[in-house]
Structure 1
Amino acid sequence: MRRRPAGPTSASVEGGRTAGEHHGTASGAAHGDWLTRGKDGRLTLYALTGGGLLRWTENAVGGPEWNGPHFVPVAGLTHLTVVQGADTYVHFLGRRERTGADGGRNVDIVHAVQYQTGLALGDWRSLGNPFQGPEESGSPAAPVGAVAQDGTVHVLLRGEHGGLMLRREAPNGKWRAWEDLHGGGVGAPPAAIALTDGRIEVCAAAETGVLVWRQSAPGGDFAGPRGFSLRPVPGTVAALETGPGRATFFWTDAESGGAAAWRAGGWPAALGGTPAERPYAVLRTSLDGYDCAVLAYRGRDGAAVLGMGGTENEAAGFWWYELAESCQGAPALALDGRGRVVMALIGADGRPRVARQGDGDGLDLTRWDTLGG
């Protein structure tokens, strides 16, 4: 396995700025896995804010107290995606806009890593811009990503003509050049997943249906895209590993308005629910002894919705609960250090709220706690 640098070891916060020096409210939810569990079992929550990002961290495994927010300055950051590898390192992918010396707009994709819970992020490094012409300088969309089992980071974004662009690390830790994975008609960020067999798969809603790219082997080239005549709502696709090396993709069906689950080789299974307007948060866990998939999303009226059903047993039914909480962007799901489901959201006031699985049967959530700001 490729070795990574040890990363920062100082316990100082990024930029030395804490809640007392920053307003402590988020401008919106990040994309991806913005609620993560570190090697020490503590959860960390990340959110986008003006001029950078905010971070809250559990004081102890299982909570309930959190410290933060700690402010990480990133000038010009317009979008933030958070992804985590099997090694628990947390990767930050961003879209950055800055004004050049000539007064023009310069856009690039940036990347940083946090190696340990609560410690400083590594340096922000530019991954450049795959669009070199002057007309395309502002073209890069919000990046998404996945971290393969060997720790290599894969960054994906929509290409100039609606295809897919990829930049990934080489086995020696250096970054390869941007690769054109082709395709067309992709109008929203795709869903990328790192599978336990070492491969990466990507699924995107396109004008013609669904496009899927797959690695033939860990670290190999991507085959595809392969097209499927399905109708997901763009911007709602999410991915979950539901079997060894097997992904299930979830989205809102454009015809029914409800959630759907799909695996290659089969037909989408209708899960019901109301229309989502962002990607689903997805999690696999055991509930009352059953292997379950848990989903959460923001409904069109702004209310947070939680659902669950048997993993790869969609025909047995899916249960949905509209919560009293409203949210900005998509919620997040994670298991805490005691194995309990935790749901997080960014409230309309820009403050994060979290609730945990209670001690009873099923998935009853405890009260919502608002994190300090």
Structure 2
Amino acid sequence: MALRLLRGKDGRLTAYAQVAGGVARWTEDRPGGSSWTGPWLIEVPGLSQVTVAQGADGYAHLLGTRRTEDKDGPRVDIVHATQFQTGRPLTAWHSLGTPHPKDRAKARRIGPPAAALDSTGALRVFVRNAGGGVSARRQDPKGTWERWTDWKGTHLLDGLSAAATADGRLELFAPAGKGAALRWYQPKPGAAPQRGEDIPADAQPDSASAVESSPGTLTHYWRDAHSGEVLAWRPDAPAPARLGGATGTGPVAAVRAVVDGHDCTVLAHRDTATGALAVAAYPCEDEAAGVWWTPSGEPGAHTPALAIDGRGRVVLAALGLDGGLLVARQKTDEAGLALEAWTRVGRG
């Protein structure tokens, strides 16, 4: 699980990270403040491949793969819990089963879950199924779960990326073999999702992410399977744009932010060449302007996350080698994307 950093309705940030035995959670004591509470361990035996999705209501939905053992042998299911308010306990974990309820061997071959909420408040959960396609399950706004459905597709790799625009139009990016990625999208808020044209993307598994780069438009990012470079694409782009960062690893963290009065996209990843984090910022949807990666943070920091805090500042968070949370905030009195000194919050 990549570290996730979400802002609640009260303006406070919450960080979530998968740890041994479950999920660690840290919470700001006040919006934009320097003190945090945590880590608090959310215990879930056998939990892995955790993701977190957030809707317009601010609720945080945690999903993961749970592996257990019973009298019939190994068992795999997707589990879900909800945090309704910042700093409050989660609901009980609820099993969503898998797309293969009668075949445990197939269930063990599913991929990690991805999730997003649409304009109606419905939560959709996606997994790569044992046949290499996409299976989805929907929770309606009243909390009722529908059955797993088959969205088709073939040759999918791990690392589905689901996201939604501010107006609630959902998109799913699914890396596949043979030099393509599959995409599903809602043409308008509340519409039934439909399959889009394949994207010319030879993506590394588990490297995709997305951010709303302008009202109603998502930009998708992934790493090229051959060069390791970060690429960016959105529906109106003629071809993916190369953003460098070939020495990085995993999906990039991305957030839309104001830098020097300009509407920008901020990216972060771990640079394997230096062992530290690297950060870049460029004008939203203007990849041709160039992207320069700048080292930031102490060596060993990994799984970065980005968010905007309750005071409108960019916040970069990461995990240290000891499992502690590291946090750096945007300086407001310097030009460019300058960050304050790192603060160590606590050990996971």
With the shorter chain as reference, the TM-score category is over 0.9
Given candidates 214, 218, 226, the residue that maps to 1:247 is 218
Q: Tell me, in whole angstroms, the C-alpha distance in 2 between the residues paired with 1:329 and 1:126.
A: 30
Q: CA deviation at 1:42?
A: 1.1
Q: CA deviation at 1:225?
A: 5.3
Task: Quote the residue 2:324 is aligned against.
Answer: 351
Q: 1:264 to 1:255 in 2, by over 3 A?
A: farther
Task: Quote the residue 1:149 is aligned against.
Answer: 119
Q: CA deviation at 1:45?
A: 1.1
Task: Quote the residue 1:371 is aligned against.
Answer: 345
2:76 is the counterpart of 1:107? yes
Deviates more, 1:250-259 or 1:122-131: 250-259
**Paired AA for residue 62 in structure 1:** G
Contact 2:255 2:307 in 1 (8 A): yes
Task: Quote the residue 2:234 is aligned against.
Answer: 263
Matched ranges for 1:1-373 at <5 A? 30-31=1-2, 34-102=4-72, 104-131=73-100, 132-208=102-178, 209-224=180-195, 226-265=197-236, 266-301=238-273, 302-327=275-300, 330-359=303-332, 360-373=334-347
Deviates more, 1:285-294 or 1:196-205: 196-205
Q: CA deviation at 1:171?
A: 4.3
**Paired AA for residue 145 in structure 2:** W
Q: Tell me, in whole angstroms, the C-alpha distance in 2 between the residues paired with 1:117 and 1:106.
A: 32
Q: CA deviation at 1:312?
A: 0.8
Count of paired positions: 342
Give the TM-score of the pair, scaled to structure 2: 0.92
Q: Tell me, in whole angstroms, the C-alpha distance in 2 between the residues paired with 1:275 and 1:211.
A: 26
Deviations 1:128-151 (A, max 9, x none): 111131321322322111112332
Q: Tell me, in whole angstroms, the C-alpha distance in 2 between the residues paired with 1:69 and 1:229.
A: 41
Give 5+ residue unaligned stretches, structure 2: none
Deviates more, 1:257-266 or 1:349-358: 257-266
**Paired AA for residue 111 in structure 1:** H
Q: Tell me, in whole angstroms, the C-alpha distance in 2 between the residues paired with 1:152 and 1:328.
A: 35
Deviations 1:126-178 (A, max 9, x none): 11111131321322322111112332111111111221111111344311111
**Paired AA for residue 340 in structure 1:** R
Q: Which has the higher contact order (CA 8 A, sep 6+)?
A: 1
Q: Tell me, in whole angstroms, the C-alpha distance in 1 between the residues paired with 2:279 and 2:241.
A: 18
Q: 1:256 to 1:75 in 2, by over 3 A?
A: closer
Q: 1:137 to 1:236 in 2, by over 3 A?
A: closer
Q: CA deviation at 1:324?
A: 4.1
Q: Tell me, in whole angstroms, the C-alpha distance in 1 between the residues paired with 2:197 and 2:272.
A: 30
Q: 1:205 to 1:46 in 2, by over 3 A?
A: same
Q: CA deviation at 1:260?
A: 1.8
Contact 1:331 1:345 in 2 (8 A): yes
Q: CA deviation at 1:216?
A: 3.5
Aligned to 1:162, the other structure's residue is in SS state: coil
Q: CA deviation at 1:323?
A: 2.4
Give the TM-score of the pair, scaled to structure 1: 0.86
Q: CA deviation at 1:61?
A: 1.6
Contact 1:181 1:222 in 2 (8 A): no
- The alignment's C-alpha RMSD in Å is 1.8
Contact 2:107 2:130 in 1 (8 A): no
Q: CA deviation at 1:261?
A: 1.4
Give 5+ residue unaligned stretches, structure 1: 1-29
Q: 1:287 to 1:223 in 2, by over 3 A?
A: same
Contact 2:269 2:304 in 1 (8 A): yes
Q: 1:77 to 1:176 in 2, by over 3 A?
A: same
Q: Tell me, in whole angstroms, the C-alpha distance in 1 between the residues paired with 2:98 and 2:36.
A: 37
Q: Tell me, in whole angstroms, the C-alpha distance in 2 between the residues paired with 1:66 and 1:357.
A: 17
Q: CA deviation at 1:87?
A: 1.2
Q: 1:60 to 1:197 in 2, by over 3 A?
A: closer
Deviations 1:287-345 (A, max 9, x none): 11100000111233443111110001111122211224345653100111101111111
Q: Tell me, in whole angstroms, the C-alpha distance in 2 between the residues paired with 1:234 and 1:328.
A: 22
Q: CA deviation at 1:194?
A: 0.9
Q: Tell me, in whole angstroms, the C-alpha distance in 1 between the residues paired with 2:145 and 2:187.
A: 21
Q: CA deviation at 1:62?
A: 1.1
Aligned to 1:126, the other structure's residue is in SS state: strand
Contact 2:210 2:220 in 1 (8 A): yes
Q: 1:304 to 1:146 in 2, by over 3 A?
A: same
Aligned to 1:227, the other structure's residue is in SS state: coil
